[in-house]
Amino acid sequence: MLNLAQLNRNIRSIRRYRQIGRVLFKYGFDHFLEYLNLSHFVARGKRIFRRDEMKIAQLSPAERMRLALEELGPSFVKLGQLLSTRPDVLPRSYITEFAKLQDQVPSFSFEEVRAQIRAELGGELEELFSSFDQEPIAAASIAQVHRARLTSGEEVVVKVRRPYVVELVETDIDVLMGLAALAERHLPGSDIYDPVGLVREFARTIRREMDFSREGHTIEKIAGNFVGDKSLYFPKVYWKTTSKGALTMEYIDGIKVSDLPALELAGLDRTRIAKRGADAFLKMVLIHGFFHGDPHPGNVFILPDNTICLLDYGMVGRLDEQLKGYLIDLLLAIIRRDIDEVVSLLSYSGDLPDPLNVRALKRDISEFIDSYYDLPLQEIEVGQMLMEFIELITTYHIRMQPDLMLLSKALITVEGMGRELDPRFDMIEHLQPFMEMALRERVSPRHLAKDVQEHFFALAHLIKNLPKDFKEILNRINRNKFKIDLEHRGLDRFIQELDKSINRLSSSLIIAALIVGSSIVMQIDRGPRLLGFPIFAFLGYTVAGFIGLWWVIAILRSGRL
């Protein structure tokens, strides 16, 4: 049975591929599609799409790519924002440019808002809210936000998802997955960056961001971690008017943390706010392992009594116990200048390439640590130091966990806000008690007993299954079903080029055969004629000429004479 929904999705994907091609050609990235073995499309693009070349050529590649992502729309803007947290994938110039990506788009109409509310909440807008502002207070690529009042009287904000945005994003995910698969197949060394894995991470992130009920649960989970802490305030979620496509939260009337004159005018203590913010963020990371991934100043409001309120929980990071321990050990090894321990931790993480120049890695790590060694602690920016360390080790193709990338960027933002609020702000001073607490916890009898128990059960499980696994191996050998799969890397492109060469050689042989056969027919004075020539000879020369001309044009277009 024909799946019309899948067919429609495939048609949208084809249209999206064409649009992406046009934008890439416009901004001078046609060579990227050549690398993906789409040179025939590139040739048409050069002829049709290349306009304003002089103006675009004056921009850097990073600037051109940022403009291309903005023109391609919401999904690609979100992808760029995600990549701006991945210095292990992109050079610093691209990281800097992608951090400028703006998620501001025109708002959609109030009638569409009304229709979305009806579809998501199962009732008319007037039945659910006593008042609802028609003009949004903010509009982004995924949703827009309106002020409203519930029938029970509470002041709220309602986040409404854009119509058809889910379908558009799913189409873009399909297209990006196809491009990532082509990159892994055709781009040399792409396996180091794992393009398909990056797209999967992006798909997981943006799908989670489009599910507003998940964001509501995230708010309540983080709020539950800070029960009894009066330094933080979390907006209340109203679940009766919340769904996957609509989120209703308490309206927060506060002062943006970046509005320093307003903070002074309100008599708030900037030093205390900086301390509270740093301690709260470090507690999220090192104690709870669940942190706000986008704490920029627009998402941080200050309430009376120096209380901090965080907004927009669409992007969050997670650190499990193993990753938290790895991060703490890595920071301690850097602070102690223990180069061998740093390399050992990187090796233990399992993300080292093979082969690796360990001597050069140790030398560069030593130089990195020396650059911070003579600085006073209050001058060291922990987030920037972590980002520079990640950039260093990625030159050796060492992979880091995506959540550590997100953490380093969030930490830079938190430190920047802290230093703006208080010029004497010192993140290491705030970090030290948490690291000491983590180290004390690690050597506590309870934690040691837990480790011994976990290792004992793991060893017991291994011993229990070892005879069965060994027997299975022997049975497979006896049945001649024991297989060892070997993967040849780097041969795909060679095989493709070999296929092209064989095809050209075959075509050359066909042309030669047509010419020779036609020449022989010319010598035979028999058969039908056209313009005084044997018709079969005439057809042979014509076909040979067309094939030869087509190959000459193809070779000239490819630029490989």
Q: What's the token pair of residue 32?
A: 């990227």
CB atoms within 10 A of CB 484: 4
285 and 426 in a single domain? The answer is yes
445 Cβ contact list (under 8 Å, min separation 6): none
117 plus 223 within the same structural domain: yes
Q: Lowest mean pLDDT: which of 10-14, 44-48, 389-393?
A: 44-48
Tell me the C-alpha distance between 519 and 368, whole Å. 74
CA–CA dist 205, 200 (Å, integer):
9
CA dist 77 to 68, 81, 95, 104, 425, Å? 9, 6, 13, 10, 33
Q: Which two tokens stand for residue 446?
A: 């309870």
Task: Please provide the DSSP assignment of 204-234 as one string.
Answer: HHHHHHH-HHHHHHHHHHHHHHTTT-TTEE-
Sign of the dihedral defined by the CA atoms of residues 536, 542, 548, 554, in that order: negative
How would residue 47 be classed by pLDDT, with cut points 50, 70 and 90? very low
| 74 closest CA partner among 97, 104, 100 | 104
- SS3 label, residue 400: coil
Mean pLDDT of 118-125: 92
In a domain, 69, yes or no: no
Cis status of the peptide bond prior to 355, with omega within 30 of 0: yes
Do residue 430 and residue 463 come from a single domain? Answer: no
Span 197-209, mean pLDDT? 87
Number of domains in the chain: 4
261/366 same-domain check: yes
C-alpha to C-alpha distance for 299 and 318, rounded to whole angstroms: 19
Does residue 329 sit in the same domain as residue 300?
A: yes
Q: Chain centroid to CA 120: how far? A: 28
DSSP state of 237: B
CA-based nearest residue to 15, from 73, 90, 79: 73
508 is a domain residue: yes
Q: Answer with the one of 425, 458, 484 that is the final residue of a domain.
A: 484
339 & 359 share domain: yes
Q: What is the domain extent for residue 426?
A: 256-443
For the chain, how long is the longest CA-to-CA vector?
109
Question: Are residues 221 and 293 both part of a single domain?
Answer: no
429 and 309 co-located in one domain: yes
Give the pLDDT confidence score for residue 191 in this predicted structure. 63
Are 329 and 437 in a shared domain? Answer: yes
Say which DSSP state 137 is in.
S
At residue 48, the pLDDT reads 44
Instruction: Mark 232-257 as b/e (b = at least 16 C-beta within 10 Å).
Output: bbbbbbbeebbbebbbbbbbbebbeb
* Bigger pLDDT: 452 vs 148: 148
300 and 376 both lie in a single domain: yes
Same domain? For 401 and 276 the reply is yes
Active-site residue among 30, 294, 312, 329? 294
Phi and psi for 149 in degrees, rounded to 5? -135, 130
The backbone torsions φ and ψ at residue 408, rounded to the nearest 5 degrees and listed phi first, read: -65, -40
pLDDT digits (tens, 9 = 90+) for 126-174: 999 999 999 999 888 889 999 999 999 999 999 999 998 888 888 889 8
User: pLDDT band at 557, cuts 50/70/90?
Assistant: low
Q: Are 397 and 192 in contact (CB under 8 A)?
A: yes
Residue at 57 is within a domain: no
Question: Is residue 20 one of the residues assigned to a domain?
Answer: no
Is 37 inside any structural domain? no
Cβ proximity of 365 and 346 under 8 Å: no
Cα separation, 16 vs 25, in Å, equals: 14
Pairing of strands 529-530, 533-534: antiparallel
Nearest-angstrom CA–CA distance, 453 and 449: 6
Q: What is the pLDDT of residues 281-335, one digit of tens each?
A: 999 998 898 999 888 888 899 999 999 999 989 888 888 888 888 888 887 787 7
- Is a pLDDT exceeding 70 seen at residue 548? yes
Tell me phi and psi for residue 232, to 5 degrees: -125, 150
Q: Give the per-residue pLDDT at 1.
A: 42
Q: Which tokens go with 361?
A: 């890695």
Query: Measured between alpha carbons, how far is 516 from 524 in angstroms, rounded to an integer?
Result: 13
**End residue of a domain, out of 224, 251, 278:** 251
Q: Which among 116, 152, 114, 115 is positioned nearest to 132, based on CA atoms?
A: 114
pLDDT of residue 9 exceeding 70? no
H-state helical runs in 158-306: 165-186, 195-210, 212-225, 260-265, 270-283
User: Global pTM?
Assistant: 0.73
54 part of a folded domain: no
Two tokens at 286?
């090192």
Residue 384 · residue 412 · CB < 8 Å: yes
In single-letter form, the type of residue at position 263 comes to L
Of 251, 278, 295, which closes a domain? 251
The count of C-alpha atoms lying within 13 angstroms of the C-alpha of 94, restricted to the half-sphere facing its C-beta, is 18
Residue 11 lies in a domain: no
Question: Has residue 64 got a pLDDT over 60?
Answer: yes
Q: Sorting pLDDT into bands at 50, 70 and 90, what band is 490?
A: low
Q: Which residue has the higher pLDDT, 411 or 104?
A: 411
The span from the CA of 418 to the CA of 378, in Å, is 12
Q: Report d(CA 6, CA 263) in Å as an integer.
A: 54
Between 241 and 412, the higher pLDDT residue? 241
The verdict on whether 294 is a catalytic residue reads: yes
- 37: phi > 0 → left, psi -120 to 50 → alpha, else beta; which? left
109 and 153 co-located in one domain: yes
How far from the centroid of its chain's Cα atoms is residue 324's Cα? 22
Return d(Cα 67, Cα 284) in angstroms, integer. Answer: 35
Contact 141, 105 (CB under 8 A): yes
The answer as to whether 88 is a domain residue is no
Mean per-residue pLDDT of the chain: 80
Dump the DSSP string for 97-113: HHTT-----PPPPHHHH
